[in-house]
Amino acid sequence: MDKTVYEKRRYKMVGSHSAVKLCTWTRNSLVGKGHCYKEEFYNVKSHRCLQMTPVVAWCEHSCLFCWRPCEFTQGTSMKDVKIDEPEDIINNAVEAQRKLLIGFKGNDKTPKKMYEEAINPNQAAISLAGEPTLYPKINGLLDIFKKKNFTTFLVTNGMNPKVLEQLSPLPTQLYITLVAGNPKDYAKITNSCYKEKGFQRLLDSINVMKSLNTRKVLRLTLVKDYNMKNPGEYAKIIENSGCDFVEAKAYMHVGSSIERLGRENMPSFSEIKIFSKNLADELGWKIIDEQEVSRVCLIAKEDYSWRKINKD
């Protein structure tokens, strides 16, 4: 793995195979320019969020819409890699985050209290790059985060249902990316190493998710002319998933994705709202929240008041 590829893109490498990167919304929140939609939806504070991955360069997919440098993906096997311990990854990730944040310490627009909170994150977004369930010690990672009083949002592409079956402890919130409503569209947009069979693995993971006693979200990353169609197909999968929420979010024309897709493939917020309304109608659910700047709608059966996490 060529670490300089990621360092040039402002990743902070951690150990043999992990990485941290400051989210745009972490930066914005520290200077009073708004916050992530996850703060709006779930009350996890953007300035205290650690965006990280335990497997920066390993994934089964090379999705067209991915803003990560997919061309440098190392495949799915980590057998030739020195596997770092979960506690070392977390401790070093927090230290890396602190180094990335140092410029805000003397920023007049950043309140001192907010900066002090930021360098002591309490929310982990395990989603930065790669597929986190490929990390063979993912349970240990979740366990150490829990012992350090972090909330955890684990985002997976659903290619490893057996790993999901064995998650312990469970993350605070489990995301599965529902990238298409049928095998053909799935294969076209993901470039999965499993081809069409990957779609069945995705369905298997969604079936596993139904049995997990944690908060569950299906995320739709919607790309015009590719997967932003046939809401009824998505609805059939969603209604049997046991998920608490659906996030319908626009593909954003940023990062490495601009080499694969055009700006015309990025839906407007109004288009996302129309699709979300059609999907909600198919399900008999409703849109319970939204954030225009991120072009995302939150869909659920009802307006769950418990979706807000109570954290300082």
Q: What is the pLDDT of residues 29-63, one digit of tens each?
A: 999 999 999 998 998 999 999 999 999 888 988 88
Residue 111 vs residues 104, 116, 121, 169, 303: alpha-carbon distances, Å: 9, 9, 16, 35, 33
Predicted confidence band at 192 (pLDDT cuts at 50, 70, 90)?
A: confident
Predicted confidence band at 80 (pLDDT cuts at 50, 70, 90)?
A: confident
**In the predicted model, is pLDDT for residue 311 greater than 50?**
no
Provide φ and ψ at 230, rounded to 5°: 50, 60
Mean pLDDT estimate for the chain: 91
* Whole-angstrom distance, CA of residue 211 vs CA of residue 204: 12
Domain boundaries, the chain: 3-307
Predicted confidence band at 310 (pLDDT cuts at 50, 70, 90)?
A: low
Region of residue 252 (left: phi > 0; alpha: psi -120 to 50; beta: else): beta
Question: So what CATH class is 3-307?
Answer: alpha beta
Bridge pairing between strands 123-126 and 49-53: parallel
Q: What is the mean predicted confidence (pLDDT) over 86-106?
A: 95
CA angle 199–307–181, rounded 5-degree value = 20
**In the predicted model, is pLDDT for residue 286 greater than 90?**
yes
Under a CB-based contact definition with an 8 Å cutoff, are residues 199 and 180 in contact? yes
Q: At what angle do helices 183-190 and 197-209 cross, to 10 degrees?
A: 100
- E strands, the chain, where? 12-14, 18-20, 49-53, 123-126, 151-156, 173-177, 215-222, 245-250, 286-291, 296-300
- E strands, 116-243, where? 123-126, 151-156, 173-177, 215-222
Q: What is the pLDDT of residues 206-264, one digit of tens each?
A: 999 999 999 999 999 999 999 999 999 999 999 989 999 999 999 988 877 788 888 99
- Three-class secondary structure of residue 230 per DSSP: coil
